[in-house]
Structure 1
Amino acid sequence: MQLSIDGREDMISKSQISFIKSLHQKKFRKEHRLFIVEGYKSIQEFINSKYEIDSIYHLTDVMPKLGKLSQNIKLHEISPDELSKISTLNSPQQLLATIKLPEPEEINIQTIKGHFALALDGIQDPGNLGTIIRTADWFGIEHIFCSEDTVEAFNPKVVQASMGSLARIQLVYTDLKKLLSSKATPVYGALLEGESIYKTNFGEEGILLLGNEGKGISANLMPEIDFPVTIPRFGSAESLNVAISTSIICSEIRRNY
């Protein structure tokens, strides 16, 4: 073992540090079937979910706050210096967990009958996706369907922005064209031109389709939209962030329940 800056013995080896740092990259997350979650609140959410925790790396006196843990979880007490080496954050948060990636779930469009779901077409910004996941959780929307070119949900920036909500959302990457063409439920498309969301009767079920930050909804998906809807503009702003748009429309959907 080596000594850390404060003279303590390091609790994890250089190879362990290198391994955890590799999980910052998508290809190694896929290879090792693990992703990173940081911070007490987010880790607690995953502990209380169906996800399987692999390891928790923590500073002294942090663990009692997490309560009773499965004996299968490997625990490592580490120094602040070690945490800074493995963290994806500029200001690390006391503990970091590695969590097993879930097995891909089969898509059954019938599971959303009587409910609302989101469909995301080419969302690229990790912060946007994380915020959309958190928004869906807030409004009780449990399913999100993503196009294959949408940013990976287990990207550390997405996980961080979701603030633990990822633990409760069923998120599937799929061919949106095939999914939406099934016509199993109404499709509402968020567009610059469409019926005002304040005049739209959303009913009790449907899929809200949202497009790429710069390009909007793909041309090949436009024919699958049953109801084009828009957030009317009252001021002079050129556009709305896709995550903010999601929040506004979801609020209006729930207001109609």
Structure 2
Amino acid sequence: MLSKNKIKQLRSLHLKKFRRSEGLFVAEGQKLVLDLLDSKMEVKDVFCTPESISTVEGKGFNPKNIHSSELADLKKISQLKSSPDIIATVHIPEHSLSWEEIAGDLCLALDGVQDPGNLGTIIRLADWFGIRNILCSEDTVDLYNPKTVQATMGAIARIRLHYGNLPDYLQRANEMEIPVYGTFLEGENIYSAPLSPNGIIVMGNEGKGISESVEPLIRQKIHIPNFPANRETSESLNVAMATSITCSEFRRRMMSRKS
């Protein structure tokens, strides 16, 4: 049984300020926690029902850091609709930004993405398309928001997010002659526009798109056309959907060059 203080401490990690001060985030659910135990991320403690203890021990995790917990206590900690049988605290890793790596590969940049689910989905997409780095504006939602962590489905262990001044990042990219793309309604058709195998793809805020401070730093504007062109359709695509289509086309071109 968990103490009231321990439950309170774990619940506090749902808030960004406490995650940062503790250097920890919460992962919920058996699949996610077991994936993180298999990764290079450092899991601090696991709280689970007695029935799940052997599963966690089977991953080689230190038994001293496995805490038998009642499902009712896990429910008090969890933000999921259905109470998980496993919850873990995980150390927040430190990632250094390598411009040499950015210059030689495809990278995403997020300009004010606010929805935790969208960010989590974009991280999964990056993982699927072999994109290892994502540059984030300072107002992009926190990676370790519980809803974001859940939406990554374990991809959080393989993708490096770098938060900072996005215009400064893109200015550095321009100075290094790294291609910088951005999605705009007035951009070139992505299916016919020239695309490079490396570069930075900027995706904008869900409602406002790419900000005024970022737009001048974009060297090529691209657009995902609706079909057919003259048909009345939705105003825009969800940012995660647009990211999926954009990454797919960049990778398709890369595969075409190799064949």
Q: Same fold (TM over 0.5)?
A: yes
Picking from 76, 81, 100, the partner of 1:110 is 100
Give the 3 Å change call, closer, same or farther, for CA 148–109 of structure 1 in structure 2: same
Q: Which residue of 1 aligns with 2:45?
A: 55
Q: Which residue of 2 aligns with 1:95?
A: 86
Once the two structures are superposed, residues 233-255 of structure 1 have per-residue CA deviations (whole angstroms, 9 ceiling, x without a partner) of 12411111001000010111110
Contact 2:181 2:222 in 1 (8 A): yes
Contact 1:54 1:73 in 2 (8 A): no
Contact 1:54 1:72 in 2 (8 A): no
User: Shift in Å at residue 73 of structure 1?
Assistant: 6.2
Q: Which residue of 1 aligns with 2:223?
A: 230
In the alignment, is residue 196 of structure 1 matched against residue 189 of structure 2?
yes
User: Shift in Å at residue 24 of structure 1?
Assistant: 1.2
Q: 1:199-214, aligned counterparts within 5 Å?
A: 199-214=192-207
Give the 3 Å change call, closer, same or farther, for CA 94–129 of structure 1 in structure 2: same
Aligned counterparts of 1:221 and 1:195: Cα–Cα separation in 2:
18
SS at 2:45 equivalent: strand
- Stretch deviating more after TM superposition (243-252 or 196-205): 196-205
Picking from 141, 148, 156, the partner of 2:131 is 141
In the alignment, is residue 34 of structure 1 matched against residue 24 of structure 2?
yes
How many equivalent pairs are there? 246
Q: Which residue of 1 aligns with 2:154?
A: 164
Give the 3 Å change call, closer, same or farther, for CA 85–124 of structure 1 in structure 2: same
The letter for the 1-side match of 2:150 is Q
Aligned counterparts of 1:164 and 1:63: Cα–Cα separation in 2:
20
Gaps of 5+ in 1: 1-10
Q: Which residue of 2 aligns with 1:76?
A: 67
SS at 1:92 equivalent: coil
Q: Which residue of 2 aligns with 1:86?
A: 77
Once the two structures are superposed, residues 199-246 of structure 1 have per-residue CA deviations (whole angstroms, 9 ceiling, x without a partner) of 123221010001111111111111111110010012411111001000
Contact 1:53 1:73 in 2 (8 A): no
Aligned counterparts of 1:212 and 1:73: Cα–Cα separation in 2:
44
Picking from 187, 208, 215, the partner of 1:215 is 208
The letter for the 2-side match of 1:249 is T
In the alignment, is residue 178 of structure 1 matched against residue 175 of structure 2?
no
Taking structure 2 as the reference length, what is the TM-score of the superposition? 0.91
Once the two structures are superposed, residues 34-53 of structure 1 have per-residue CA deviations (whole angstroms, 9 ceiling, x without a partner) of 11001122112222222211
Q: Which residue of 1 aligns with 2:243?
A: 246
Q: Which residue of 1 aligns with 2:9?
A: 19
Taking structure 1 as the reference length, what is the TM-score of the superposition? 0.92
SS at 1:245 equivalent: helix
The letter for the 2-side match of 1:250 is C
Q: 1:121-132, aligned counterparts within 5 Å?
A: 121-132=111-122
Aligned counterparts of 1:111 and 1:250: Cα–Cα separation in 2:
18
